[in-house]
Amino acid sequence: MSDSISAGATRTAPGSHTPDAATTPDPRRWWGLVVIALAQLMVVLDGTIVNIALPSAQQDLGMSDGNRQWVITAYTLAFGGLLLLGGRVADLVGRKRTFIIGLVGFAAASAVGGAATGSGMLFVARAAQGVFGAVLAPSALSLMTTTFTDPRERGKAFGIYGALAGAGGAIGLLLGGVLTSYLNWRWCLYVNIPIAIVAVVGAVMLLHDRPGHKQARLDVPGVILGCGGLVAIVYGFSEAEPRGWGDSLVVTLLVGGAVLLLAFVLWQARAKSPLLPLRILRDRNRAGCFLTMGLATIGMFGLFLFMTYYLQGILGYSPVKTGLAFLPMSAAIIIGSTQISARLLPRVPARALMVPGMLLAACGLLILTQLGVDTAYTTHVLPAELIMGLGMGLTFMPVFSTATHGVRPQDAGVTSAMVNTSQQVGGSLGTALLNTIATSATTTYVGSHLTDPSRKAQVMAAGVVHGYTHAIGYAVGAMLLAGCAAALLVDAKPAVHGGSAAPNAAH
């Protein structure tokens, strides 16, 4: 079996070659996977770990309610907006080098944030974490792509990677609760330092990469248009939550971002060294994976957002208990990725896992639409977490593997960045859109049911839960759309039984 055929995809662009196809696999590659997994876990953790610590940080640093969102927004804005640039830099100067630079920078930014003496210092540190995360994440995924080329090994490796990508957010909630409760909120940032040190040492000793493609030039207009458009879109989504979708700033950002991205696509069609070669997007498997990931993340972030509020605000859980409540979902994601997807992907088409996975995730969310003020965790939340976690595990692993297979070596970084970008934009959209829907539904419910002032507390609680369940209904729709995207666009054949690779439109 040729190494050019990989799990989840058999269609390879003419003239492209799977990296390292002619070389003996590195005997230490599985230890290298541990290093890559540590780095990926660190980046994913920081998307949620500070959520539970935010109230403590706000009180300690004297942040206003209007400014506290920047602890989250500064990270997501820099991370989501600069991913394409980070991916192309990895292609130009070498993935191992940018991987190490990203780790060192992320650790340094975490140290500054943990030692913050004011809100401004924390905001800047979080933005710096996002910048270095945008360098680190594409490098990690593209190193996976170039390290694991055997179909069966690739399935196992991407199963672990997909499990971390899906479960990391829930693990971050637990770790944030534990660190905030038993140490203090600063350790939610300090915890990255030892992780990064271990990963840097491991990267130096274990990871290998071919030199960067220095003959290529960085597409400066593409950087300005593409990164500018992404920053505007992510910022617009984040501001839609506190300001509302009709706010002039939000409308300007979203429209301006869309215009910049359209100009970016037009420029990429004529640029000599494009930031994002359009051949990557013309491949239906990659396009389907990007779309599936974005839509799936909308639904997943909806669960994280509303279940965190529901468990603490309605059921009265502590931060630690809230984090523990998400563990079953993390376990289900890990099982789905490593024990089911990783074993089946070399034998079945990618969409045979992705479509059922999205249907399962939709069913899990559908259970949560039946939540009430007095609903027990074991009867509704736990079954929903297990079903949704299994579905996400079935989906994430083939998405990562299929999207990055068969790509030209010089495009591995930017392709990996596109997977992360779709995840980040989907998360930003999900948080803003679903929270706005929930808030509006709550306001309407309270306005129509508050007829007796003495029952205000009960009506308010019921209204909040009604808002959550109403918004989760839209998250169900996002999951179903993700399943449709996978069914209609992703046609990659299984690696082991797929025969020889066929050309595709990625050329």
Segment 223-236 shows an average pLDDT of 84
Segment 388-407 shows an average pLDDT of 86
> With contact defined as beta carbons under 8 Å apart, do 127 and 77 qualify?
yes
pLDDT at residue 357, as a whole number: 95
* Residue 8 scores a pLDDT above 70: no
* Crossing angle (nearest 10°) for helices 119-147 and 95-114: 160
**Mean pLDDT across the chain, nearest whole number?**
81
Tokens 């002619």 sit at which residue? 22
* Residue 19 scores a pLDDT above 60: no
| Beta carbons within 8 Å of 394's beta carbon, 6+ residues apart | 336, 337, 340, 341, 353, 354, 356, 357, 360
pLDDT at residue 376, as a whole number: 87
DSSP β-bridge partners for residue 502: 11
Q: Grade residue 65 by pLDDT with cuts at 50, 70 and 90.
A: low
* Residue 260 scores a pLDDT above 70: yes
pLDDT at residue 215, as a whole number: 59
Task: Work out the percent of the chain whose per-residue pLDDT is above 90.
Answer: 24
In this structure, of 315-329, 338-352, 380-394, 405-419, the range with the lowest mean pLDDT score is: 405-419
pLDDT at residue 20, as a whole number: 41
Segment 290-306 shows an average pLDDT of 84
Q: Where are the domains of the chain?
A: 29-218+275-489, 219-274
* Residue pLDDT, tens place only, 346-385: 888 988 999 999 999 999 999 999 988 888 899 889 999 9
* Residue 76 scores a pLDDT above 60: yes
Tokens 């390879």 sit at which residue? 12
Instruction: Provide the CA 141 distance to its chain's centre, in angstroms.
Output: 12
* Residue 73 scores a pLDDT above 70: yes
In this structure, of 247-256, 304-313, 390-399, the range with the lowest mean pLDDT score is: 304-313
> With contact defined as beta carbons under 8 Å apart, do 419 and 399 qualify?
yes
* Residue pLDDT, tens place only, 266-289: 998 888 878 788 888 888 888 999
pLDDT at residue 363, as a whole number: 95
pLDDT at residue 204, as a whole number: 87
Residues composing the chain: 507
CA dihedral over 339, 342, 345, 347, signed as positive or negative:
negative
Task: Work out the percent of the chain whose per-residue pLDDT is above 70.
Answer: 88
Alpha helices in 244-283 (DSSP H): 248-268, 278-282
pLDDT at residue 124, as a whole number: 94
* Residue pLDDT, tens place only, 172-217: 878 888 888 888 889 989 999 999 999 999 888 877 766 555 556 6
Segment 415-440 shows an average pLDDT of 80
Segment 435-454 shows an average pLDDT of 82
CA distance 143 to 203: 11
Identity of the amino acid at 67:
N
CA distance 112 to 339: 39
Q: Please state, in angstroms and as integers, the Cα–Cα distance from residue 138 to each residue in 394, 404, 490, following that order.
A: 22, 11, 22
In this structure, of 16-25, 64-73, 284-293, the range with the lowest mean pLDDT score is: 16-25
Q: Grade residue 151 by pLDDT with cuts at 50, 70 and 90.
A: low
pLDDT at residue 24, as a whole number: 62
* Residue 165 scores a pLDDT above 80: no
3 state SS of 398 = helix
Nearest to 507 by CA among 145, 16, 84, 19: 16
Q: Around 236, how many Cα atoms within 13 Å sit in the side-chain half-sphere?
A: 22
Give one word for 385, left, alpha or beta, with left for phi > 0 and alpha for psi -120 to 50.
alpha
Could you count the other beta carbons within 10 Å of the beta carbon of residue 462? 18
pLDDT at residue 13, as a whole number: 38
Decide if domain 29-218+275-489 falls under CATH 3.40.50.2300. no
pLDDT at residue 292, as a whole number: 93
Nearest to 462 by CA among 447, 480, 475, 483: 447
CA distance 378 to 423: 30
Nearest to 392 by CA among 358, 346, 369: 358
Please give the full DSSP string across 42-106, using - where no structure is assigned: HHHHTTTHHHHHHHHHHHHHT--TTTTTHHHHHHHHHHHHHHHHHHHHHHHH-HHHHHHHHHHHH
pLDDT at residue 4, as a whole number: 32
For residues 486 and 88, which has the higher predicted lDDT (pLDDT)?
A: 486
pTM: 0.78
In this structure, of 16-20, 293-297, 298-302, the range with the lowest mean pLDDT score is: 16-20
For residues 53 and 357, which has the higher predicted lDDT (pLDDT)?
A: 357
Q: Around 499, how many Cα atoms within 13 Å sit in the side-chain half-sphere?
A: 2
* Residue 220 scores a pLDDT above 90: no
pLDDT at residue 26, as a whole number: 65
